[in-house]
A and B are shown apart, each in its own frame.
Chain A
């Protein structure tokens, strides 16, 4: 069965510092991987996605993620965090059967001045 694990429930970083959010997946075929961001009281917004090809994908708001098949990981990174990046971040995988998506439990990001 497909599953997504986000090991970090909560992360705190200083503004201007770099950020890495971890995501590991369990999947039997080529995964379709996504990162979404959720601001308080809002729905989810897509940051970036990976289907195939270049394993380093660029997204909106200066985010990027790297797919590593050997580690079953799809970690999200940003070189310099802004206060407006404080939000909940979700990793998701598209299933190979049916049309379902599986989401991780999310990582809450706090940015301190």
Chain B
């Protein structure tokens, strides 16, 4: 049981490039989340999904896109990378809604230069 896995661990992008951050969970959780963590700012929710085919925006969705074609996978897409997207990105999953514990992946450290 690997829990929540994220790839890559580190990435450097040039401004304007695009990339996809991968997230996979093997706990059969319905809910999945993407957060970004900036120094001194805590975690901000980018997007979340309550099941395959259903996604919704969080607090800071601009510049990102997501899809949820399967229960296990929840990739995050950056189309035109900007320096403001330099951050650490965490994927999380939970069995159900706000009442349930979230399980976090190890994070992806992204630098845009």
Whether a CB of chain A sits under 8 angstroms from the CB of B74 is: no
Contacts from B to A (Cβ < 8 Å): 4, 31, 33, 35, 40-45, 48, 50, 56, 58-59, 90, 92, 97-99, 101-102, 104-107
Q: Which of A18-35 contact B (CB under 8 A)?
A: 32, 34
Docked-complex contact B43 and A99, CB < 8 angstroms: no
> Whose C-beta in chain A lies nearest to the C-beta of B48?
A99
CB of A89 to closest CB in B, whole Å: 11
For the side of the interface on A, what is the size category? Answer: 20 to 34
| Cβ of A92 to closest chain B Cβ, rounded Å | 8
**Interchain residue pairs with CB less than 8 A apart (12):** A41-B107, A43-B107, A45-B104, A46-B102, A51-B99, A90-B43, A100-B98, A101-B45, A103-B43, A103-B44, A105-B42, A106-B42
Q: Which residues in chain A, 61-113, are within 8 Å of chain B measured between CB atoms?
A: 90, 94-96, 98-106
- The chain B residue sitting closest to A108, CB to CB, is B40
**Contact yes or no, B106 A42, CB < 8 A:** yes
Complexed CA–CA distance, A36 and B92 (Å): 13
Given A9-B40, A44-B90, A105-B42, the answer on whether A100 and B99 have CB atoms closer than 8 Å is no
Q: Given A105-B40, A105-B41, A105-B42, A99–B104 Cβ distance below 8 Å?
A: no
Q: How far is the CB of B82 from chain A (nearest CB, A)?
A: 23
List residues of chain A with CB within 8 A of the CB of B41: 105
Complex: A17 Cα to B43 Cα, angstroms: 29
